[in-house]
Structure formats: structure tokens, C-alpha cells
Amino acid sequence: MAGVAAGRGHALLLETEFGPAVLRQYLRGGWAARVSRDRYAFSGYENSRPVREYEVLEQLVAAGLPVPRPIAALCAREGRFYSGWLITRRIMDVLPLADVIGSRRDTPELWRDTGACIRRFHDFGAVHADLNARNILVGESGIYLIDFDRSRLKKRDSRAFSANLRRLHRSLQKVWPKNSRGRLEGAWNTLLAGYDMQRDAA
């Protein structure tokens, strides 16, 4: 084991024969966690959260979109319930978008490229279930989206895509440093410009 990643629960950083990897367990948040933190109703392995996310990631990788490559989906059944884990290739030398704000990487180009990246996913039909400032990774090699749990592929779902963007905007409002609040809307408008430019280039 190489370490533990931050976030809800634990994501273990592994060194495997496939290269650096991340092992993430599926955990509930909010009120549902009071009932069960890590167990879900079983309705077939093909309907389990790790298998469904694995399949979505496979399609996104095949489309050339910047996501972690899936390695294995694990589903342990116990009667009417199951627990799940997903192993993906680790994307090296990246930081969450939330941690880049205010750094040397925080440039108009970054926000424009982030908008263009999101638009590529939407054009493919990817509806991210939790598009927030920590599920967007930034590195020298580009911008990536992670955590496609409960995400789906649905072409031309403009309402869902707009909801994605509103969720990201709320997330940025939460993490943006208070001493530079004035920059937020400028960065957001640049992100939207990149989103629209990617559409025009398609």
C-alpha cells in the first residue's frame, strides 16, 4: 500500500502489477449512513454500484475522455446486501481543482480548459452525479474527471448538464477563499466561455 487518499471514507493508494492504483470503497453519506455505512441492497451483480461505474468508465476511456482507467470492480454479497469496491489506475501528479485556486496554476487558461473538458463529457452524454471542485483533477498532463459513481450516459440531456454546471458552481462558492471572492465570477465566466467554445468547435 502506498498511502491513503483524502475524501469520504478511505481510498487506498496501491502499487500493483498494473501500476499505481486507487482502491475506493463505496460508502454512504448523510442520513443514509445512519442505517448502514457500507452496505447496499443487492439486486444482481450487474446492478451493483462498482460494476455500473466500471462499465461507465470503460465507455469513457474508449471514447478518449480523461478519466481513470478501471482495473477491477469488486462486489461482496451477504444475503440481501452487498459491499463494493472499485480499483482504478491512479492519475499521477494531479491536484483537485479546489486545491489549485490561488496557486500559479490558477489562470484563465485553466478555467477555459476546465469548461472545455466538461463540455466534452456532456457531448458524449456523460451525466456526472457529483460534479464538484474535488472531482476535477488538474495536472501538467491535463484535466481529468473522477468518481463516476451513480453517473449515467444519456445523450442530449440538457437539463442534467445544466444541473451539473450549477452543482459545480455551488461547490466553487463553498471552497473559494474568502479573501479573493471577487475573482470567482470572473473565473466562472471564463469556464463557461471554454464550455461554449468547445461546443462551437465540435
Domain boundary among 46, 73, 89: 89
49-58, 64-73, 191-200: lowest mean pLDDT where?
A: 191-200
Domain boundary among 89, 112, 138: 89
149-177 pLDDT, tens digit each: 999 999 889 999 999 999 999 999 999 99
123 a catalytic residue: no
Residues 178 and 137 in one domain: yes
Per the structure, the count of domains in the chain is 2
- Cell numbers representing residue 16 in the block: 500493483
Residues 99 and 76 in one domain: no
Residues 78 and 127 in one domain: no
Q: Which of 38, 123, 130, 157 is catalytic?
A: 130
Residues 62 and 147 in one domain: no
**Residue 180 is part of which domain span?**
94-201
Distance of alpha carbon 7 from the chain centroid = 12
Residues 28 and 123 in one domain: no
Residues 191 and 119 in one domain: yes
Query: Given a cut of 70, is residue 30 above it in pLDDT?
Result: no
Residues 99 and 195 in one domain: yes
pLDDT of residue 31: 54
pTM: 0.90
pLDDT of residue 181: 87
Question: In this structure, are residues 81 and 42 in contact, taking their beta carbons and an 8 Å threshold?
Answer: yes
102-140 pLDDT, tens digit each: 999 999 999 999 999 999 999 999 999 999 999 999 999
57-69 pLDDT, tens digit each: 999 999 999 999 9
